[in-house]
Amino acid sequence: MSKFQSNFNQKIDYVFKVVLIGDSAVGKSQLLARFSRNEFSIESKATIGVEFQTRTLEIDRKTIKAQIWDTAGQERYRAVTSAYYRGAVGAMLVYDITKRQSFDHVARWLEELRGHADKNIVIMLIGNKTDLGTLRAVPTEDAKEFAQRENLFFMETSALDSNNVEPSFLTVLTEIYRIVSKKNLVANEEGESGGDSSLLQGTKIVVAGEETESKGKGCCGTS
């Protein structure tokens, strides 16, 4: 894994816009607060007045500014439109492991994300609130399977005890960096082998990142 350190004296080599999406009350803002300030606010009001948070870090001796956008709770009112996604190169798609419905909606959020965002966008599926393990309603396996099928990274996190929060953002940012710096995306333009789906089907993107040094798709430990 690359070294990550903040260094504010350096010039910024890259700015990466990353969006947080998912149902309301799954802990998106808490994750963001954890990552950008490493703190958890116990008073978890619905998000108000946050545009985005930034954190500067170093990957492969380049200074990366992560600009992470939150929905400010407006997803409750269907107010999150195409303008939100514009220019995003990464996305954290968050559900609450104790709320089945928030996981059921992941497919819809993913579709919307893919409709709006750049097709090379790096996506991390996040099952948040592992600190509430006893109330778990979404088995890790279900989410892992979904993530594999959809070519997403996957981790379970706790914004409360900060477990896996840092690695989840860093995995996404590192992958974005890999893509941007090496342009090693492979667009798999062959249709599915099923045959009948090749006529007017969306292009599937294979992110050449299975072997990435970070644990990639497999990392879902909740230890």
Partner 1 sequence: MSLVSGARDMGFDDNNNNKNNKDGDDENSSSRTRADDDALSRQMSESSLCATEEEEDDDSKLQLGPQYTIKEHLEKDKDDESLRKWKEQLLGSVDVTNIGETLDPEVRIDSLAIISPGRPDIVLLVPENGNPKGMWFTLKEGSKYNLKFTFHVNNNIVSGLRYTNTVWKTGVKVDRAKEMLGTFSPQLEPYNHVMPEETTPSGMFARGSYSARTKFLDDDNKCYLEINYSFDIRKEWPAL
CB of 168 to partner 1, least distance (A): 21
Q: Which of 6, 82, 148, 184 binds partner 1 (CB under 8 A)?
A: 82
Q: Which residue positions form the known binding site for GTP?
A: 22-29, 70-74, 128-131, 158-159
Nearest distance, CB of residue 156 and partner 1, angstroms: 17
Q: According to the binding rule CB under 8 A, does residue 36 interact with partner 1?
A: no
CB within 8 Å of 55: residues ≥ 6 apart: 6, 35, 36, 65, 66, 68
Site string for partner 1, 155-184 (x = CB under 8 A): ------------------------------
User: Exactly one of 38, 119, 133, 135 binds partner 1 (CB under 8 A); which one?
Assistant: 119
Q: Residue from 11, 43, 182, 196 that binds partner 1 (CB under 8 A)?
A: 196
| Residue of 103, 153, 154, 169 interacting with partner 1 (CB under 8 A) | 103
Residues that bind partner 1 (CB under 8 A): 24, 48-51, 71-72, 74-85, 103-108, 111-112, 114-116, 119, 146, 149-150, 189, 194, 196-203
